[in-house]
Structure formats: structure tokens, C-alpha cells
Structure 1
Amino acid sequence: MFETKERFKKDFMMRLEQREERESLHAAYSVLSEMVKEWINDDWQANKRVQREEAHKQLYYFSIEFLTGRILGQNLMNLSVHSLVSDGLEEMGFSLAEIEEQELEPGLGNGGLGRLAACFMDSLASLGLPGHGYGIRYKGGLFTQVIKDGYQGETPTHWIDEKEDWGMRQEELAKNIPFYGNVHLEVQDNRLKPVLRNAVWVKAVPYDMPVVGAGGKTVNTLRLWQAESASYPLPEGMEQDFYQQAVSEISDRLYPDDSQQAGKVLRLRQQYFLCSSSLQTILQERDYPLSELPKHVAIQINDTHPALAIPELMRLLMDEQGMVWEEAWEITTHTISYTNHTILQEAMERWDSALLEALLPRIYMIIQEIDRRFREKVLEQDLDEAARKKLSIIEGGAVHMATLAVVGSYKVNGVARLHTDILKMREMKELNDYFPHKFHNITNGIAHRRWLVKANPELTGLISSAIGDEWIREPIKLHGLNPFAGDPSFLQDLQSVKLLKKRQLAEWIRKQHGAVIDPESVFDAHIKRVHGYKRQLMNILHIQLLFNHLHSDRNFRPHPRTFIFGGKAAPSYHFAKQVLKLINAMADKVNNDPLAKNHLRILFIEDYSVSKAERIFPASDVSEQISTASKEASGTGNMKFMMNGAVTIGTYDGANVEIVEQVGEDNAFIFGLSAKQVMQFEKEKNYFTNDTLAHDPELQLLMSQLLNGELSGGEGNVSYIKKQLVDENDPFFVLKDLQPYRKAHERLLSVYEEPSAWLGISAVNIAQSGIFSSDRTIQQYSDHVWNLEELTNHYT
């Protein structure tokens, strides 16, 4: 790496002059990314060598998503050269920010699950721990969201540029993955061995991306698998064109539509493709006896998507390595650990037994045997039939993947204390009763180096001027800011930083969306995946209540607010897509109303992404965390907002509970049903929408406006919303919590109009946010699950 700014400038210009269109921003990006890759590579190779020589235990993190965001700027930050490069480029007439915008954002995730995995990769490397990610290289990403006439459309995300990709193709490390076929028992080496005949084989080719830790000392690897045609003969009757199309689909799109059988098959193929290729690699690269695998390897499966790692590891140990069942099971159940991310039944994956058996016949045989042996043990317990069913892996013609994941893991964790308690007491009560030693909590966290240091350098500078910069290495030291929550000078500077970030966001919105928003207004942000339980519907209905109030009461003229929405709906999730239409229709109405536009503004950010989030979090005043209590596992957006000084309005759900514990009830705005109340209503089935509406004329008017299509451009645009609120009796308690939500907003606005009080709350939130760094999360995993050792740094 260069030693001075002048040396960097000389090297950069020498390379740039060799490029065509050398004055273009894209050429500048190409040169800079090439230089950064070279700087990283030596340490990356040295890191691999040290890990081999010192025989460090390795973590392998299996995840169907890795939402990395743009990579160039973060690497510059973690290499500690961001400022030097920025200054050098500016002196040469380039803007680093504009160069970073040239990078195509990797389409490797959807929301919190994928972003969490990326934050974990950052923290593992920054803490000097040997941890690597395994995922899939989706060529078409999730999808690019296009809003037309208020409706969501989806197009592929073309993010891969082979010439400038951060991933390095490793052809020599490719693996072959079998699907379909028939299992035959054959005698080999004096034992019966299952052999798969007439299989359809797929080649998995790895692309390795370096993951640079803070300070650049540790460089781990994110390995992404791409599906390609294998050089095996096709089964009789299968055409080459059909085969190639089927192969390309595996690494084409994240979360294919599984409302039809073809989508279900594809999802299952993706999951096995990830697990088999990754496990084959881990076993092949070892230089120790297989019996010692748990001493050298920890495998974390991120939710149920990689749960097939359990039977696949058993297959490899028994069929390929010749182990007996008992030895293979002992190794498997001491190597794999499982993170649960949801209590929603729709996300607790269940695969049709016939489908799984046809696609993965040997894997299904192993799952059957795991289930049979576990049932035998369960029968020894004094349990009723209902409990035994809850403990069955195969039940009702389906394979229950969460049950398989628990039975085959040595540790199972939830991702916030409330979430873990619900798992243990309700959703997985029988499993927790049977395996009380397995279940524990590790609350999620976020990479503060991206979400504060990189996304908000102005706030970073202000914090460091007050308490020094040790908090960047040890984020828990942010608590040193607490005394400044009452310091008028600091609060004035904090207000200036927030206003600057709001102006920057407003200018970006003006350029990108052609919309003008007022930086002096309250920026109220609700940015996350669109889902019924996340209650974007409640938010937009509340805005309609405000709209109605403005027109019915001349004395009601509240402080101006800008409501910022962003998020994607799954292509087949019709309810969520109608909510998006409703938001956009309401935006057209409110933003063009002569009276309302002076007090309310609605903005929907199309195709929400990590880079857009990096602009929104620092500029936001209010963090909308309004999920139905008990439904949100953790949330991590709540932590990103908090760390940037936004104040939470939300329910006691997920990690909101722990956020409020940190900041105190006076420094957040909590409303609505508790998780206990929600679960009680669900159990007793004694909540009725009509009871909520019966004595509330405002809600009656609101429902009339909604259901007759007045708010959304026609009744047909609210058919699925009507179904949920009326026919399904409002399962996410939107109407039940709407008036308490409104009152919480009134309390919030009254505090906002007292700047010193509001800024003091903001400062407390920043000060108490350090515990929600993913550094803390990863250290807990390392200490209590993985037992990793920090790498030595003598190779640097």
C-alpha cells in the first residue's frame, strides 16, 4: 500500500491515463477498486497462511442472504485510508463520494437477515476472529423495485460486472452437487454403501470476496457459489437446453416465488446447493482427523434456510467418509449451531415430504432416520400426543425444518431477549423442555463502522471531539456521551449535524426523485421490508387521520412532518403490494392538497437499498418501529436509527424492549399492546375488529374511506387489505393499536417542539447505543457458541 498521499496520487494517475475515457467517473472507480484489491490481497493471503499454520478454529456462517452494500468505501474506511484517498482525489479533481456511486450494489439480500450477516462478517474481521461467510451469487439479485402509477413492479438486478467484481473466481475449487436419482445399496469395501444413480449433477463454482476488518489487519472471506453445468451425463430423456435452464435458475434470483410448485422446488434446490458445496469444501480443506471436526470447525446456520446442512453433513460423513451413524451424529451435533429469526409460522419452513424425497432422495432417507431415532427417545418421556407431534421432524406429510435445526444443533439462539423467551415459552416450548441446555439468547447488533462512522462522519467527528475516538474501537464507550445530554453547547452542535444530514438527504431526494422536502420538518422514517406485522398500513392510516383532522379542525396546525417510507414487497405478497399502492396514492393526495401539504409530506423511496439507507438513517428524527408486539424477532433498523440519534416510536417488541431498557422510558415513545396481550388475544380469540370500531367515529370514517377505495384510487386496490382487516379480523391489531399510536405521536411532537428536551433524548440514544454494535454480538457468539481465538497479527 502507498505510504503518502502524493504516492497514491501518482499511482492513481498513472493507471488512469492507461484507461479509455480516463476522465470518466467509471474509469476512476475501476482504477481505485483495482488498487484497493491489490492492497488487500497480500494481507488476505497472509491471513489464510496464518490460519493454516496456527490451526485456528474456523467459523463458517451459512446464510441464504448477505446484503453487503457497496464495498469500495467500506474497505477504504477499514483500511484507515478513506480520508487520505478522499483528499488526494479531490486535489486531482475527483470526488470520492461520486466515485463510490459508480459501484453496482450487490443484489445478495432483502432486509434484516442479509444485512445482519454482512454486519457479522465486518465484526468478525474487525475483532480478528477467523470467520467466513458462505452464500449464493445471485446474478439477478432479489429484484429492482420499480414504482409505476403507485404499483410495485420487479425487474432483475444486474449488479455483476465480471471485470470489476470484488469476487475472485476459484474454478479449481468447484464442487459437484447431486439432485434427483435413485439410491441403491451396494457392497463396497466389505460394507453396504448407499450409491446415487441417475442423478442430475450441478457444478458449484466459488467466487471469493475479501472481508476487511477495521485497521486492515484481518481479512476473512465471503464465498459465494454460482451454479453451472456439470460434466456428467444427463439422465435418459432430459434435454440439454432444459438442464442448462434449470441449472442457471439456482443462482439467478434470491427468493423465487414459491406460491407454485416450481418455485418450491427451486428454493429447495438453492438451499441444498449452498449447504452441499460449502460442506464439501470444509471437509476437503481439513488437515486433521474427521473425529476432531468440532474442535476445528463451527458452522452457524442463519435461520432455517441452511438447515439441510445437518443431513448433508451426515451424508458426507457416512457415505463418503465411511463413518457409522453414531459417530457421524456425534460430530454433526457438536459442529452445527442454529439461529432462529422468526416466530411467524409462514417463515418456519416446512417442505412437502414427497417433494424432498424426489429431489434429494438420500437426504430424505437420512432425515427419516434422524426423525425415527429422535421419536424413540421422545417415547421414553412422559409426554402427551400433542407434545410428541411438536417434537416430530416429519409430521403431517411435511419435514419441519426448524425442528430439524434444533435437534441437529448443539446451540440454538434467538436474536432478542423477548424473541428468545417467546421461542422457549411458546413457539418451541416442547423443544426447549427437551433440550433446555441448547436454548439461549444473543441479541442482534449492527456494524457501527458502516452505520455511524462511514454513514455519518459529521456525527462521528462530534462524538470524538467530546469523548475521544476510543469508542470507534470499543463502541460500548459511547456511554461517555451521557453527561453531554445536558450540555447546551454539545446539543447545539448535535442539532447542527442533524440539520446538515437532513439538508443532504433533501438535496439527494430533489435530484433523484424531483421532490422538494423541508429540512426543518420532522423527518419520520419507516424503512424496512413491507409486511403485515411491520404495520406500514397503520402508519399510512395514521397519516389519513391527521389529514382528516386538519380539514375538520381549524385549530389543528401541527409542526410540519415528512414521512419517509422505503421497502420492498415480495412479488407474490398481494397484501403488501396493495399497502405500497396505498402509500403512493396517499402521497399523491396529501402532497398536492393545498392545506395538508403545509403540514404533512409523504415520500416513498423507490428500490430501498443499503446505500440509500446510509443517507436516511443519519437524517431521520423519528424511528418507526411499530411492529405487532411479539412478531418482530429483533429488528436492526431500530439500532441504526438509535445510533444516529433518531428517537424510537414503537411497541415493546423485539430489541425495542432492550433499547428502552438502555435509554429509559422517558427517552422513547412506546405505545400499544404488549406481547403478552397479543398472545393472550390470539390464544383466547376474543379480539374483534367491530368492537374497536363500535365507539370510535374517527375510525369508522377512516375505514369507510379506506374500504370504498377513496384513499387508494379504487376498491380493487384494497381487496387484500380489506380481507386482512375485515375477513381475517385484523390479525396484526392495526386498528386496535391505531389510536394509542396516534397519542404517542402527539406526545412525541410536543417534545420535539422543545429543542433542548428533544436533543437531550437524541444524545442519550446515541450514548446508549454502543451495546448494539455487532462487535458485542459476535464476541458473545464467540465466547458462548463458537469458541474462537483471536488471530495473531505478526503477518502484517
Structure 2
Amino acid sequence: MFSSKESFQKSFLKRLEMTYGKTFRESTSRDQYNTLGNMVREYISTNWIETNEKNRSANNKQVYYFSIEFLLGKLMGQNLLNLGIRDVVEKGLEELGISLSDIEESESDAGLGNGGLGRLAACFLDSLASLDLPGHGCGIRYKHGLFDQKIADGYQVEYPEQWLRHGNVWEVRKPDQAVDIAFWGSTESREVDGKLEFKHVSPETVVAVPYDMPMIGYETSTVNTLRLWSAEPAHHPPLNRDLLTYKRETEAVSEFLYPDDTHDEGKILRLKQQYFLVSASLQSIIRSFRKKNGSLHNFHEMVAIHINDTHPVLAIPELMRILLDEERMEWEEAWEITTKTISYTNHTTLSEALEKWPIYLFKPLLPRIYLIVEEINERYCKALWERYPGDWNRIEQMAILAHGLVKMAHLAIAGSHSVNGVAKIHSDILKMREMKLFYEFEPEKFNNKTNGIAHRRWLLKANPELASTITEAIGERWVKDPEYLIQLKRFIYDEGMKEKTAKIKQVRKELLAQKIFEQSSMKVDPSSIFDVQVKRLHAYKRQLLNVLHIMYLYNRIREDSNFSVYPRTFIFGAKASPGYYYAKKVIKLINSLAEKVNSDPKVSKMIKVVFMENYRVSLAESIFPAADVSEQISTASKEASGTGNMKFMMNGALTLGTLDGANVEILESVGPSNIFTFGLTAEQVLDYYENGGYRSTEYYHHDVRIRQAADQLINGFFHETEGEFEAIYDSLIAHNDQYFVLKDFSSYAEAQERVEQTFINRGEWQEKSLINIAYSGSFSSDRTIKEYADGIWRIKPI
């Protein structure tokens, strides 16, 4: 049906009329989108079935990637591109008077993730399929996702993200493969043939129903699967329960991504989600494995399970439960299989982000799992005692159960064979500081796998004009071998190439300017420097440092008639977690500052501030190609890796950043003259945390720029309710500026001056831009996945 423009048109029109019982002229964009989506799914169905059959029959090891998030974005454009049929479809639709881009707009961003963690998982699935590797995703089919963000009077307002309200053309419901998940109840034990057996008594059952989505590789017949689980009530509801309450509580398990956990009810729901994901996935994997192999004694030789951060760590005790209770294995064999099967990626150095669950909630919700965790902890502490006899302090710090808490990161390290960080500096910090005791105990487990991005989405799809220009220069090899982009180095001083890439950037800036106008009715200058900070709103990511610098520029322009700056548009995009009070105040501050700056005739000639609401993957695809400056300004040691930095780099933006996460490796790649670095190093930050010595008030009193901007947060400069930004002021002054915003301010301001001076010399800027693109290939997720496949999972292409 996609062999030619004509055959596509014929199939498309016939399918549309048969499906909707209306003529083509009467059809809507959504009718057309669903028709095209169904055609694509039918087109790949043979390859999807054959890939599954190959995986079932081949004697190859497979990996299952467990993640609470998969931030897929929109799939239509990427699937058409990967299948090599985009041109046929685009031309065929064009002759029918339809724009493919209009049809793509009908698709909702899949509401299955929030930030970098989820986008990384999506990029990994793309690379697994494109490299013909047997790798599958396992997640939750959230009905609502995180939230849709609206800005009202400068405040973030959350609306349900109803991404499924029109259905999902890519998914296939598989009710015949549903499994039961047991919560609550109690455990009973009895001795059978000299061995203790456990039974889960009177559990409350939730049914997990799988929805499979195809993950299509680029120009290959491999179609892997993302299996998403939806929670539904059991056919026989529990006795002595109000049926409506049971139904509501059951459906809540897969209703929202990251329910608010400030109260016990929210904590229980999050814990339910995590066990629901791992139990359903493991039951499904093992059911399939048993059909082929009968016994699970060689399970670890054929299956790798990877846990993306601590959310799926309950896979460890759940696999133990199945091996002990269902397979009747001895503990030692079950533990060996479990630890050889499971590998773990750590995504943070923030202690508050390392999950810990109160035992008083964990134990009644998951009674059998708790007993297993208790046993794991006892045996782990015994092994520690044998290595470090008498060192109670060390054992207390490393215990899985301590101080009334289940420590999920500790369980992850104890129960896996590999623990990796996601950038060199992050992995070093884990080994030397955050997880030093665990590294000393089992150094062989620890390794680094620097994150990567799906270059086919973030360059080939998001920036097709730049991709075509690259292909004209160096050929097509880079699409399948992204490190071949290094061949662009030959064109760094080529005037023709510099002119072409500069024009492409300008067109993308004009398109983004149009999008900004459509969203906010604000006109921005496409010839200005597009200075962009888009990412989750968190104190350590320091959007506040950016804001204080803009406030300084505003004050300087207003007060000094001789001062001027090259025109610059500061673009923000960010969502704050609904319960994160401080982050939501920063969003309000950005919007209040935007109103102040943009309405001032003198200031707005030089600078403008834009907050783009509802930041998401599809919006990011418009932003990254248009950016000149990539703001990566987190407090050094706090950002595990970052992947936005890689997307900006690949699209020719220059990084303005601290020596944090993958910024360090970008610096090593492109060299110090092609990146703008500033601020404290990770070692200096960690030294301050350990030994003190930092007083933010010294910077407040000795730097008039800082004092003026900080005072404006509370002195009526902003026409907001009194005390609106007091929490932000207090974080800087009263609470001693935990993330060193004031300490790094001067260095940041100097780096911004260097950015301006460099940008003015457009030829030099284009050379630096091309260098960044040339070196970006090593930050492709293809490279990352090859490293995981060879070094951790031991899987090979089928």
C-alpha cells in the first residue's frame, strides 16, 4: 500500500471511507490521522509478528527495560521516517490537498513520562530496534500522564493530560495475556518436606492488562515491543469491600504518572504502581520463558532485566518470590539467578531523590515481598559483618532496612550484578562519595554508561533541512553510524557550509518566533540571540540563576544610558511538580519578569523573556533546532547527565554550562574554545557541603548586582501580592543558598558576556556550531545502547 504514491492514495481513500462511512471531503484531520495510523500498523504487522517469533524461537538472550516513564512524544512522523515511506505519504496526501504536518498535529504526545528519565527510555527503545537488538520496554499505561500546563496570571495551573481521549492508534490490547497482582492480605507459612513454604492469604487482586505498542527500527525489519500495563478490577472483587471504592482504587493505579506523595495515601499509590509494573512484567516474561524452556534454572542466561532508576527495584524481591514460592528453589540458587538477571541505572546524586518507603506502609501492602526484603537485608548485613566485623556504623549506613525505612537504592545495589551512572563525572561521584561504601564492598559492580539521544528523532526528524545539508556534505552513513558526523570537521572553515547552516538556523528561529506569537501574541526578533533553558523546573537546575542575570541586565539597561547588549531572547520552558511549591514560585517569577521586561520600551528593544507553556517532546522538536545558546547551568555535581545538552549540541547550539553531568564530556569532545563554561567545580561544591565555609550573605553584601536583584524579589519591584517571592529570597539569604546561585553569579555573567562577544562574530560562531555538530555523534543513544548490550546485558543482534 506504500509502494507508490498512487497505491497509497487508493488504499488511504478506500480505508477512510470504509472505516468512517463518509466521503473523503467530509472527513476530519483526526479521521485522516487514524486512517493513516491504522495503515502503518497494518504495514508493519508482519515484521512485528516475525520479530516476536524470532525472539521466541532464537536461542538468544533478550533484555527487558523496566521504566516508570517512557516519554515517547508523537510517533507518526518518526514511524514514517523509520519505515522509509514518509516521502510517498507526504506527496500522496499533498495531491489530495492534505498537509502531513497537519495530520501529525492531530496526534497527542503520549502522556507516559515527565523528563530526561522518560525521554532516555524512549531513545533507548529507538536504538534497540534500529540496531536489531532483542530489547523490549515495560511500563505503565497512564490514563492521564503528568499534567497539561497552562499559565494563568503567571502561575502554573495543572489540567489533566487526557492524551487517550481519542484513543491510541498504535496500541494493541491483549486481554488474553492479563495477569493478577496481589496487594494487602497476610502471609502464612507451613513446613512441607522439611522446607518452609509461604502463602499469600486473602489478598486484594488487581488485574494488569497489557497494551502493546510497536517500536519500529530505522530501515530494518525489526519491530520490538513496548508493553504497557493498565490496571482493571478483578472479575471477582474482594469480599467485604465497597465495590465502587475498590474499582476507584484499582483504576487509580494506572491513572496518573507520579501521584502526589506528600501524604500516606499518595505514598501507597506510588508503591502500588511500582509493584504493579514489576509484578505484571515479570509474570509475563516468565510465562513466556516457561513455555519454551520449562524450568527457570537458566533464566539469567537468556533474560536480562534492567531497572531504570529505583522505581522498578521491587523487581528484585518479586523475582525472588516467583523463584522461591512458585519454582520452590533454594534461596542461594534463587538469589544467584536474580542478581545475574538484574542490572540497575542510578540517575541521581540527590539523596532526597533516592527512594525510601516507610515500613509501616510497605509491610501491610506487600506482606510477602516485605518478608523477602527482610531476608535479603539480613543476609546482606551478615555478609557486611563478615567483611567488616564490628563496624556497626558502616552496616547501619548500608543496610536495606534501617530507621523504619526500606531503602530502594540499597536494595538495587545488593540485588543486581551491575550498577551504572549516566556520565563519567556522575559515576565517579557515585563511587567516590554517594555510594562509596557499596563501591568498596563490591567494586566490580560499578561502571559508567554516558547517556545518549536518538539522533534520528532529534536531528533527522526535528531538523530535516540541517540533516539534508549534512548528508550532501558527508553522505548518508551518519544516519546509521552517528559517529561518522565527525567528518563534518572537514567543512568547519568552508564558507558555503557556514552560510547554509546559518540560513537553516535562521529559518528555524523564524518558525519558533511564529510559534511564540501564536501562543502568546508576543513578537520576538529572530535575528536576536535565542538563549534557551528548557527542562524540568528544579532548584538544582538553577533557572533562578538565569532569572537573576536577566534582572541584572534589566537594571543596567534602565540605569546606564551608555550600556547596551546585543539583542537577546531568553526562552524558558518547564513544568514544576504539582506539589513543588518553590519551583512553582520560580515559574511565577519568570512570568512576572517577562511582563516587566517585555512591557518596557527601552529594555525590550534589547532583551525579551518568553515562557513557553506546556513543555513537551513535540514542542522541544521546534525549540532545539532554533536555539543559539544551550543553558545547562545546574549546580556542579547535581545533574547526573542531562540529555537536553546533547540535543542542543546536535542542532548546532553552543553550550553555556557548569562542569556538571555530560557537559564535562561535551567539553572534552569539542575543546574549551567551543563551549562556555563557568562556576564552581563538582569537587568545590562537594567540599563546601562537607566542610562548610560558604556564606551567601557575603556575596549579597559585596556585589551590588546581586543585592539589587535579590532585594527586588521583596521590595515591591514586582507588582505582585506582598510576599509573593519571599520564599525565593529566603532560599538565597536566610537559608544560605543551597545551590550556590549567588556564588556562581559573577562567573555566569562573565560567561554571558563571552557568549555575546562570540556571537557578534558570526563566522566564528558558525565554526563553533559546526564543531559541536561534528562531535555530537558520540552522544547518540546508538553508542550508549551498544555499550549496555556488550558490557551489561550481553545481548547480540538477532
Q: Report the Cα distance in structure 2 between the residues aligned to 1:778 and 1:509, rounded to whole angstroms.
A: 36
SS of equivalent residue, structure 1 residue 128: coil
In the TM superposition, what is the alpha-carbon distance from 1:531 to its structure 2 partner? 0.1
Among candidates 597, 606, 611, match of residue 604 of structure 2: 597
- Aligned 8 A contact 2:426 2:640 in 1: yes
Q: 1:296 and 2:298 equivalent?
A: no
Aligned pairs for 1:399-418 within 5 A: 399-418=406-425
Deviation by residue 1:350-369 (Cα, 9 ceiling, x = unmatched): 01111110110111110000
Among candidates 415, 426, 441, match of residue 419 of structure 1: 426
Among candidates 377, 383, 386, match of residue 383 of structure 2: 377
Among candidates 244, 248, 251, match of residue 247 of structure 2: 244
- Aligned 8 A contact 1:709 1:716 in 2: no
Aligned pairs for 1:121-520 within 5 A: 121-161=125-165, 163-187=167-191, 191-236=195-240, 238-286=241-289, 287-288=292-293, 289-382=295-388, 384-520=391-527
685-694 or 720-729, which deviates more: 720-729
SS of equivalent residue, structure 1 residue 732: coil
474-483 or 719-728, which deviates more: 719-728
SS of equivalent residue, structure 1 residue 547: helix
The equivalent residue for 2:85 is: 81
The equivalent residue for 1:13 is: 13
Alignment size in residue pairs:
790
Q: Report the Cα distance in structure 2 between the residues aligned to 1:691 and 1:640, rounded to whole angstroms.
A: 37
Q: Report the Cα distance in structure 2 between the residues aligned to 1:485 and 1:472, rounded to whole angstroms.
A: 20
The equivalent residue for 2:749 is: 742
Deviation by residue 1:265-296 (Cα, 9 ceiling, x = unmatched): 11000000001000011111012231111111
The equivalent residue for 1:664 is: 671
Among candidates 585, 593, 596, match of residue 578 of structure 1: 585
In the TM superposition, what is the alpha-carbon distance from 1:626 to its structure 2 partner? 0.2
The letter of the residue matching 1:2 is F
The equivalent residue for 1:90 is: 94
CA pair 424-712 structure 1, distance change in 2 beyond 3 A? farther
In the TM superposition, what is the alpha-carbon distance from 1:11 to its structure 2 partner? 1.2
Deviation by residue 1:551-586 (Cα, 9 ceiling, x = unmatched): 121121111111110010001100000000000011
Where has structure 1 moved over 6 Å in runs of 4 or more?
Answer: none
Q: Report the Cα distance in structure 2 between the residues aligned to 1:190 and 1:122, rounded to whole angstroms.
A: 50
The letter of the residue matching 2:24 is R
- Aligned 8 A contact 2:185 2:201 in 1: yes
Among candidates 551, 561, 564, match of residue 558 of structure 2: 551
The letter of the residue matching 1:396 is H
Q: Report the Cα distance in structure 2 between the residues aligned to 1:715 and 1:775, rounded to whole angstroms.
A: 51
The equivalent residue for 1:794 is: none
In the TM superposition, what is the alpha-carbon distance from 1:233 to its structure 2 partner? 4.3
Among candidates 40, 57, 61, match of residue 57 of structure 1: 61
Deviation by residue 1:653-708 (Cα, 9 ceiling, x = unmatched): 00000001000000000000000000001111211111112211221111111133
CA pair 369-493 structure 1, distance change in 2 beyond 3 A? same
- Aligned 8 A contact 1:43 1:219 in 2: yes
SS of equivalent residue, structure 1 residue 700: helix
SS of equivalent residue, structure 2 residue 725: helix
In the TM superposition, what is the alpha-carbon distance from 1:164 to its structure 2 partner? 4.1
In the TM superposition, what is the alpha-carbon distance from 1:483 to its structure 2 partner? 1.8
89-98 or 156-165, which deviates more: 156-165
- Aligned 8 A contact 2:237 2:243 in 1: no
Q: Report the Cα distance in structure 1 between the residues aligned to 2:602 and 2:535, rounded to whole angstroms.
A: 29
SS of equivalent residue, structure 1 residue 304: coil
549-558 or 105-114, which deviates more: 549-558
CA pair 400-112 structure 1, distance change in 2 beyond 3 A? same
554-563 or 71-80, which deviates more: 554-563
- Aligned 8 A contact 1:413 1:440 in 2: yes
SS of equivalent residue, structure 1 residue 305: coil
- Aligned 8 A contact 1:706 1:712 in 2: no
The equivalent residue for 1:111 is: 115
SS of equivalent residue, structure 1 residue 558: coil
Q: Report the Cα distance in structure 1 between the residues aligned to 2:193 and 2:599, rounded to whole angstroms.
A: 79
SS of equivalent residue, structure 1 residue 409: coil
Among candidates 18, 22, 25, match of residue 24 of structure 2: 22
- Aligned 8 A contact 1:708 1:714 in 2: no
SS of equivalent residue, structure 2 residue 306: strand
SS of equivalent residue, structure 2 residue 444: coil
SS of equivalent residue, structure 2 residue 199: strand
- Aligned 8 A contact 2:453 2:781 in 1: yes
Q: Report the Cα distance in structure 2 between the residues aligned to 1:684 and 1:691, rounded to whole angstroms.
A: 17
Q: Report the Cα distance in structure 2 between the residues aligned to 1:270 and 1:716, rounded to whole angstroms.
A: 38
The equivalent residue for 1:765 is: 772
CA pair 712-542 structure 1, distance change in 2 beyond 3 A? farther
Q: Report the Cα distance in structure 1 between the residues aligned to 2:619 and 2:65, rounded to whole angstroms.
A: 26
The equivalent residue for 1:524 is: 531
Deviation by residue 1:682-736 (Cα, 9 ceiling, x = unmatched): 1112111111122112211111111335237234321321332123210001111
The equivalent residue for 1:642 is: 649
- Aligned 8 A contact 1:186 1:192 in 2: yes
- Aligned 8 A contact 2:13 2:24 in 1: no
5+ long unaligned stretches in structure 2: none
Q: Report the Cα distance in structure 1 between the residues aligned to 2:114 and 2:627, rounded to whole angstroms.
A: 22
Q: Report the Cα distance in structure 1 between the residues aligned to 2:143 and 2:11, rounded to whole angstroms.
A: 33
SS of equivalent residue, structure 2 residue 207: strand
Deviation by residue 1:41-85 (Cα, 9 ceiling, x = unmatched): 111001111112213211100000000000111100100111221
CA pair 292-593 structure 1, distance change in 2 beyond 3 A? same
The letter of the residue matching 1:179 is F
- Aligned 8 A contact 2:73 2:616 in 1: yes
**TM-score under structure 2 length normalisation:** 0.98
RMSD, matched Cα: 1.3
The letter of the residue matching 1:58 is Q
The equivalent residue for 2:788 is: 781
SS of equivalent residue, structure 1 residue 267: helix
5+ long unaligned stretches in structure 1: 792-796
Q: Report the Cα distance in structure 2 between the residues aligned to 1:723 and 1:133, rounded to whole angstroms.
A: 43
In the TM superposition, what is the alpha-carbon distance from 1:338 to its structure 2 partner? 0.1
**TM-score under structure 1 length normalisation:** 0.98
- Aligned 8 A contact 1:338 1:406 in 2: yes
Identity fraction in percent: 51
